[in-house]
Structure 1
């Protein structure tokens, strides 16, 4: 398993201090220098500050030993859940920004903030946790998602939209079940689906989603925007690489879901032409985080190892995320997107429009029409799990390795 993953993603760990280039992570810039000065450390602008920021991002990985998912025998998501884990990381950052702000850093000592522990608990591996892999699989059933299967970025974006709506619609005023405290906008093209053309951020659609989210009580609410894209056939068209790189500089950036074919990652930053990412492929035991335990060990939810991946090697099927706290933030995102479009030579990643008739989402049961990113593949391109009849074949203790 380790050799397979290294063949797909490589073993490169980023030495971010070896270059004078800027380091960008989720809209924040740090100055990199082989000889970092004390003034850089004190000002919070150097490599040390970047590493503190990076290690404060929530890291969600493969887990083993949780309760079986639905009616399946799957008690682990090893070899198939990396796209789901990558998406959980992106949504977790949105919740961190919403509740604790972009400047929050993981404290070095306990007790932790209540909001931080509550965010982590939402992603626990059981049906009782609002944003667990169990509930995501149930929400994604309309897209052919089942335990042991893979899904692409477009399907996982729609799955989050479905789960957020279901949690909100079924929540009682006095019920403790958590809901996502923001509207979810999956930005699509002229036709719904991952090949529906360049996605269009429509201001009127965003306003309607905010109104629906607040049940007509507010004209604007916080918003999570997910933009699924297909930027080529076998690899990303080179003309899109500078545009992808620039999205990490947007203040609203939540990074990118993607990676190499067969291995999803969560890309949080960029240096030169290399994406800096958190890798979900490490296998860890499932743990239970209680919402009121502010002394709990959260080390398995953070990673200090920065890995990089050349942008010209990522899979062309990906999704970009943004978080807008209010209407001013949304308008700033639209302005950034419009400026980026002007640099695209007629081939923008996505565009902005005041009004477009939204198409109705198509719930597809045939998952084969989505481009899958997330499963391991053999050298001949076949899915690694084609030879296994059920997930419980991975439950042997000898199978668990650090990837």
Structure 2
């Protein structure tokens, strides 16, 4: 190991161990299968691999002392209101990592991969970054959320759907399923792109981040949905669940037994820039985007308002996901988490593909409950 790499590893250990003086109880030492984004582990044999996998996830938290949001007198920190916005950043960041670097890519303290840095810079706390807290908060105004107001899972998904359209490099499509229904042909029409750069017409598939907002109970999680929710973490297309506890947003990345594993954005760190990781300050900022130890809680304690997320890099992966949903969530369950259909239900008013999902919901004659606010979920 070169001296620079050794020094960086020491900085990494010092950064995390300063707040962790004893062995954490982050992973239960059981033989029960543990799932992280569709990858199966055994905690007795794979503890370090599990932690490496968790640490490789982008961890977005509250920040302070960034450029004001909304003008010179705007917010300079998102502490107390930005937790769901940060969870949205985490699910989108993970989608970009998987899409551009692959599921088996792992972060290390010395990582200077140009693609990784390009992804991370898109979430920095500045007005210019396409997926910054600034962009998300200001775009939220169009969803009826003033800057400084708390988002719910559906609102943050709708905002990210808008923002990703303006970042060509990301090469990602976000679809937010309405009325608890995945419409296969609508998604395929959205993701297929014709490539006319060659003489032969070629249809390309834009990687899909599929978000399914749900409400699985009135004030607490209905136990009937828990088996299906746990199965979602086992699908190879899993990108976790945006949710939390009441008024406390968390990003759930896996499960073990009756517990869910999550990344918690409720830590306030200083704002800064990674750039090319050429000095100690930039290295420290990069470290602050990675959490060495995840947390866990009983799945029954989750708030019933959630959004289940999947990433399908290819059309074949999407087809496989549809089959997994059919075989695991619909056929065996008396009360499925959500439905899947080939065509848009006939009761829905037909709208052009360019119209947003929210606008489609507002013109639909079948949807009695609008889903443009996070208190208005259809009860499954």
Q: Provide TM-score, normalisation by structure 2.
A: 0.80
Note the 1:169-248 alignment, pairs <5 A: 179-189=169-179, 199-211=180-192, 218-248=203-233
Distance 2:178 2:162 in 1: 15
Q: Is the 8 A contact 1:74 1:148 kept in 2?
A: yes
Which protein has greater RCO, CA pairs closer than 8 Å, 6+ apart?
1
Q: Which 10-residue stretch deviates more, 294-303 or 142-151?
A: 294-303
- Kindly indicate whether residue 291 of structure 2 is the aligned counterpart of residue 303 of structure 1: yes
Residues 358-397 of structure 1: pairs in structure 2 closer than 5 A: 361-362=357-358, 369-371=373-375
Name the counterpart of 2:47. Answer: 47
Q: Distance in 2 between matches of 1:30 and 1:289?
A: 32
Counterparts in 2 of 1:23 and 1:213: CA distance versus 1, 3 Å: farther
Structure with greater proportional strand content: 2
CA contact (8 A) 1:14 1:308 kept: no
1:331 is matched with 319
Query: Residue by residue, what CA displacement relative to the aligned partner does 1:229-281 show, whole Å, maximum 9, x if unpaired?
Result: 11110111101011111101000111000110010011101010111000000
Contact 1:126–1:134 (CA<8 Å) still a contact in 2? yes
Q: Are 2:191 and 2:206, in contact at CA under 8 Å, matched by a contact in 1?
A: yes
Q: Is contact 1:248–1:270 with CA below 8 Å preserved after alignment?
A: yes
Aligned to 1:354: 342
Q: Classify 1:90/1:14 alpha carbon distance in 2 versus 1 (closer, same or farther; 3 Å).
A: farther
| C-alpha distance 212-228 of structure 1, shift in aligned 2 (>3 A) | farther
**Is residue 34 of structure 2 the alignment partner of residue 65 of structure 1?**
no
Q: How far apart are 1:214 and its partner, in Å?
A: 7.5
CA distance in 2, matches of 1:271, 1:253: 15
C-alpha distance in 1 between matches for 2:95 and 2:194? 17
Gap change, CA 1:362 and 1:222, over 3 Å in 2? closer
Q: 1:82 to 1:205 in 2, by over 3 A?
A: same
Structure 1: runs of 5+ lacking an equivalent:
1-12, 34-39, 41-45, 169-177, 190-198, 373-403
Looking at structure 1, the residues matched to 194 and 296 of structure 2 have their Cα atoms a distance apart, in angstroms, of 37
Judging changes above 3 Å, is the alpha-carbon distance between structure 1 residues 205 and 150 closer, same or farther for their aligned structure 2 residues?
Answer: same
Q: How far off is 1:217 after superposition?
A: 6.6
Matches of residues 276-295 of structure 1 in structure 2 within 5 Å? Answer: 276-290=261-275, 292-293=276-277
Residue 32 (structure 2) aligned to one of 1, 15, 21: 21
Aligned length: 328
Q: Tell me the TM-score normalized by structure 1.
A: 0.76
1:85 equivalent to 2:86? Answer yes
Tell me how far apart the structure 2 counterparts of residues 80 and 118 of structure 1 sit (CA, whole Å): 27
State the Cα RMSD in Å: 2.5
Unpaired segments ≥5 residues, structure 2: 1-23, 363-369
